[in-house]
Amino acid sequence: MDDYDIAQHPDLRDPEWQRRAVKQARAGVRRQRRTGKRLAWTGVSLVVVAGAVFGLVQWGRSTSAHYDGSAPPPAEMRPTAPQVMPDIARVDLARPFDNTPAATWGESVDGLVLPPASPIGAFSAGEVQTAVDQVKKFIHIGRLDRRTIEGHDGAALVDLLAPSNRSLYANMLNLRLTSEFANIVSYAADGYRLLPANPRISGTITAAPGPIRDTLNLHASYSVGYPFDPGTFAPILAPGEIDVFLRWEVDFKFTGSSHRKDLRGLSVGSTSGVVVWMGCEAWKKGYLAPAYSETMQGSDEPFDEAAVYDVTKPLPEVTEGCTP
């Protein structure tokens, strides 16, 4: 009987068949390793600001399309990006957000969509701009600054707050007795660092008169992507193995000069957020780690993943998955 070499079968030697087979095999490995699209965490925190109950307002939101840290270009010039993360995609460590929803986002808070420069209530246009700039700086230090992310140094963030708010958040960031600190800062888990590429951000800041005289309510809605260095981990089958994403909603109050000195300035009100494509065990403690850091059995609960990246959509609700 003649020996038959199955490897010489015409179907197996067809280049198109080989490409499909490799893709299917990689998808199988991806599913085994996956911490999953469906692995997400939702957190809510409500802080009562000293002096008055914080007034909560739902404001309209503008488009979230940004790139290169500047204002959005005309629609016909904007590159396209996927609405959700791909299961399988080539990863270039020099461009870790290629093939992700963050491909067109900015690298700084200067790309956030801001309210128009105009008076609001008793606040002049210049005073409103000062308050908005404080919120921008708060987001930059808490979510984008590598000294915060990798160095776990939140002192500069606390310094931005009104005196009545400082001790609460200083203790929260210093002691870290619970994961509540993650509502205002992004700390990388020990042993994990970012790639040289900057985090990417998209979002809006809006402003409205506060319920109390000489106060201003501000709302920040933003999404941030963090590109983690995989080190020796390989093969990387998709961006979701190294890119961690969060979507956060934060209410702030800015108190004017007619109030007590310790109340003047910026205070944090309610916060809520969702994190996806993260290492679950680290996140249970409030820290960010990439998905490749562990093998987890994520929840298959359906949720609107696109809403994590698109701030024009309501914050998605996730009742299962990674819970701290």
Q: SS3 for 68-121, per residue? A: CCECCCCHHHCCCCCCCCCCCCCCECCECCCCCHHHHCECCHHHCECCCCCCEC
Q: How confident is the model at residue 296 (pLDDT cuts 50, 70, 90)?
A: low
Q: How confident is the model at residue 11 (pLDDT cuts 50, 70, 90)?
A: low
| Residue among 189, 158, 184 nearest 287 (CA) | 189
Strands 287-288 and 243-255: unpaired
Global confidence as pTM: 0.79
Is 290 a residue whose pLDDT tops 90?
A: yes
Higher-confidence position of 265 and 59? 265
Q: How confident is the model at residue 308 (pLDDT cuts 50, 70, 90)?
A: very high
Does residue 263 contact residue 255 with C-beta atoms inside 8 Å?
yes
- Position 8 scores a pLDDT of 57
Q: Is 176 exposed, middle or buried (0-12, 13-18, 19+ CB in 10 A)?
A: middle
Average pLDDT over residues 253-277: 95
Does residue 168 contact residue 162 with C-beta atoms inside 8 Å?
no
Q: Which of 13-17, 76-80, 185-189, 312-316 has the highest mean pLDDT?
A: 185-189
Q: How confident is the model at residue 299 (pLDDT cuts 50, 70, 90)?
A: low
Q: What percent of the chain has pLDDT over 90?
A: 68
- Position 13 scores a pLDDT of 56
Q: Give the torsion sign (CA, 68, 72, 74, 79).
A: positive
> Considering only 36-45, 178-187, 228-237, which range has the smallest mean pLDDT?
36-45
- Position 186 scores a pLDDT of 98
Is 47 a residue whose pLDDT tops 70?
A: no
Average pLDDT over residues 222-234: 97
Does residue 246 contact residue 273 with C-beta atoms inside 8 Å?
yes
Single-letter residue type at 117:
A
Distance CA 157, CA 149 (A): 12
Q: How far is CA 152 from CA 288, 308, 314, in A?
A: 12, 25, 30
Higher-confidence position of 297 and 67? 297
Is 117 a residue whose pLDDT tops 50?
A: yes
Task: List CB contacts of 140: < 8 A, sequence separation 6 or more.
Answer: 108, 109
Higher-confidence position of 112 and 24? 112
Q: What are phi and psi of 268, to 5 degrees?
A: -100, 135
Q: How confident is the model at residue 6 (pLDDT cuts 50, 70, 90)?
A: very low
Average pLDDT over residues 219-225: 98
Q: How confident is the model at residue 81 (pLDDT cuts 50, 70, 90)?
A: confident
Q: How confident is the model at residue 220 (pLDDT cuts 50, 70, 90)?
A: very high
Distance CA 46, CA 36 (A): 29
Does residue 223 contact residue 256 with C-beta atoms inside 8 Å?
no
Is 34 a residue whose pLDDT tops 60?
A: no
Q: How confident is the model at residue 32 (pLDDT cuts 50, 70, 90)?
A: very low
Q: What percent of the chain has pLDDT over 70?
A: 71
Which 3-state string (H, E, C) describes the chain? CCCCCHHHCCCCCCHHHHHHHHHHHHHHHHHHHCCCCCCEEEEEECCCCCCCCCCCCCCCCCCCCCECCECCCCHHHCCCCCCCCCCCCCCECCECCCCCHHHHCECCHHHCECCCCCCECCECHHHHHHHHHHHHHHHHHHHHCHHHHCCCCCHHHHHCECHHHHHHHHHHHHHCCCHHHHHCCCEECCCCCECCCCCEEEEEEEEEECCCCCEEEEEEEEEEEEEECCCCCCCCCCHHHCEEEEEEEEEEEEECCCCCHHHCEEEEEEEEEEEECECHHHHHCCEECEHHHCCCCCCCCCCCCHHHHCCCCCCCCCCCCCCC
- Position 80 scores a pLDDT of 74
Please report, for the chain, the start and end positions of each structural domain, with discontinuous segments joined by +: 36-309
- The pLDDT mean for the chain works out to 81
